[in-house]
Structure formats: C-alpha cells, structure tokens
C-alpha cells in the first residue's frame, strides 16, 4: 500500500493526501471542475490556479470577479490548496487573510512560475534570487493565514539558473518561518520547461528540512513516479503537464505504484463523456464565452488518440459555444462507431 502524504499543521488537523500523487497548479488548466475530475480519477490533493495578491487587494470589480473564480473550490476537492503569488509581503499578508476566510486546507505560495508577466513584477521564480525577501513573503503569508488557522505551503523551482540553486536554502527559510510543506520542481527559472528536471535537487531539499517535500517534474506515468519516490525520498509526487487533458493518468499512476500494473485506459465514450462534463461545469463557473476559450486546448487534448483526431482538433481549437463543442463530440462518437471501435487508438 502507498503511504499517504501527511502534512502536520500548527492548528491541529493534519492534511492527508491519499494517495500521495497530487495535481500541480497550472494557470488556465486546473480550474475547479478539472481539479474535481483529477480527484475522482485518483489524485490525492490538488492546487488551484494562480491567484494574484495584488488583484485581490487592488483590483477593480472585474478583476475581483475573476479572482474569486480562480480561488473557488468545492468541498468535494478536499484536501485542496489555493495558490497565490506576489512580491510585496504586506499585500501577501492581506491576500492570505482574505483567502483563509474561505477555509481551504492550505494556502500555497508560488515561487516557481517563470511566466514573464509574473517575473517582471518580482514574483514567482524571481524570488529565488532573493532568499531573504522570499522568507519575508512566506512569513507574512503565514501571519495572514494564521488569523483563520489555515497553514501555508510553498512551491518553488530549483533556483534562478544553474549558478543560483537556492531551493534548499529557501526551503529551510520557509520551514523556519512556519511553512508546513514545500514542493520542488527542480528545473531552474531559466530552463522554463526545457531540458530535464534535476531530481537531485529534490533530494537535497528533503535532506535540508524536516517538513514534507513534494517532488514535481518529468513525472508522466507510473514508472517515472516510482523512480522519483526512490531517487529523492520525497513524500509525494506532483503531476503537472502530463495530466493536461488526461485526468485518467492518476488512476494509471496509482495503480502502477500499488500493483505494478496500469489501470485500464478509458475508451472514446468515457473520454467524451468526461470532456462534456468538464465543459458544462466550466461554463457554469466562468460563463460560456470564457469557458469555451479555455476548453479549446482541453478539448484538443481529450481528442488525442481518437480516430481522425487531427481533423477534430482543427475544429475543436476554434469553438466559441458549448453547442459547437457538443456537436463535434457527437461527430467524434459517430466516427469512432464507423471505425467499429469506440475505444482509444494509438
């Protein structure tokens, strides 16, 4: 049996992620409906999309609506963490207090995003260049969240570049000021998503702190998840890009870790039923216009492996209404039936 991820907190309840295979936060991907799907297919915990602390505190009405959508979570998801980012300790303190009132299981600080618009404001992975400021931000966030007894975790990269691997130091500082767990994606900010993750950095962080460490980076299936556990000693593995359009991956990974065998791959009917549910729920949360813009990429990912998928993807990437999407899925089922197999093909 897999050992659940257990994150002790100073407020009594321990956060338990069972199984210790969790969903990474991804902007434009891990909305509340998608997180629910991943939880249903076996993810032990999930993290929200990135929420801007400055938008929460200084944003206008439109910005506030978007922020509430990003930070929204349902009871079905628990345990769930809401991730925030920012470069100003006071603003992070205020944002943490606001989010903590909604009682997520944790508030996570993003110190790993390498997107230019986040790095330009001094947040995300840029904080790894200034460990003292990173510590101040963590301390302020812990203080703000403490008002409502919500613990704080931190997600970080290895460092800024190969000459600035600061994850072990920042993790120690995070522990010193009250963070209850850290996640490490051991690529540098300069790497973005190129090259390979250096899992030895996860091992170094694990050796540097006593709080739980979650490993992330290049986990794409059961064997790679098993290898990360064995090579790093991490307490849980986090899956990000490999889960895009593939919530079913969690069932495969968990099955492999428990028995050495993959779970049965879903057929076309299950994939399309899942994609339909995802789109309808997302439209209910964000409105049809925004939801369909977001679903273009999700739908294209869901179609992978289906018959005539290239032609389907060309249309899926241009949808603007839920009705259009439903019609394309109807056609995809007809195509699969015509080929005589309503199942995924290689």
Active site residues: 113
Cα–Cα distance, 253 to 258 (Å, whole number): 9
DSSP symbol at 326: H
Q: How long a stretch of residues is the chain?
A: 346
In SS3 terms, 46-69 reads as EEEEEEEHHHHHHCCHHHHHHHHH
Q: What six digits make up the tokens of 19?
A: 């199984």
Place of tokens 């209404």: 321
* CB atoms closer than 10 angstroms to residue 198: 18
Strand pairing category for 21-23 and 15-17:
unpaired
First-residue to last-residue Cα distance in the chain:
31
Cα 282 to chain centroid distance, Å, stands at: 17
* 307-322 residues labelled b (16+ CB within 10 A) or e (exposed): bebeebbebbeebeeb
């Amino acid at each position: 049996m897999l050992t659940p991820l257990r994150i002790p907190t100073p407020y009594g309840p321990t956060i338990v992620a069972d199984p210790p295979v969790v969903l990474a936060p991804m902007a434009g991907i891990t909305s509340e409906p998608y997180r629910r799907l991943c939880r249903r297919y076996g993810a032990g915990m999930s993290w929200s999309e990135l929420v801007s602390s400055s938008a929460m505190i200084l944003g206008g009405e439109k910005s506030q609506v978007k922020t509430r959508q990003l930070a929204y979570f349902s009871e079905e998801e628990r345990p769930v963490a809401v991730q925030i980012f920012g470069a100003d300790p006071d603003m992070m303190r205020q944002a943490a207090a606001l989010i903590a009132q909604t009682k997520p299981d944790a508030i996570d600080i993003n110190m790993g995003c390498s997107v230019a618009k986040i790095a330009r404001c001094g947040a995300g992975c840029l904080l790894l260049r200034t460990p003292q400021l990173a510590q101040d931000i963590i301390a302020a966030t812990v203080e703000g969240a403490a008002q409502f007894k919500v613990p704080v975790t931190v997600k970080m990269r290895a460092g800024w570049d190969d000459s600035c691997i600061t994850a072990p130091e920042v993790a120690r500082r995070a522990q010193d000021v009250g963070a209850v767990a850290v996640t490490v994606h051991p690529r540098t900010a300069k790497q973005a998503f190129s090259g390979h993750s250096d899992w030895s950095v996860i091992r170094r962080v694990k050796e540097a702190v006593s709080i739980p460490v979650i490993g992330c980076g290049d986990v794409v299936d059961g064997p790679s998840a098993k290898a990360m556990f064995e090579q790093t000693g991490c307490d849980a593995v986090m899956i990000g890009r490999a889960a895009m359009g593939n919530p079913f991956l969690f069932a495969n990974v968990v099955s492999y870790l428990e028995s050495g065998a993959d779970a049965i791959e879903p057929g076309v009917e299950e994939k399309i039923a899942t994609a339909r549910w995802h789109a309808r729920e997302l439209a209910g949360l964000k409105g049809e216009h925004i939801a369909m813009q977001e679903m273009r990429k999700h739908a294209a990912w869901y179609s992978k492996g289906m018959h005539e998928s290239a032609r389907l993807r060309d249309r899926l990437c241009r949808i603007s209404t839920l009705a259009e999407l439903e019609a394309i899925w109807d056609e995809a089922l007809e195509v699969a039936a015509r080929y005589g197999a309503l199942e995924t093909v290689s």
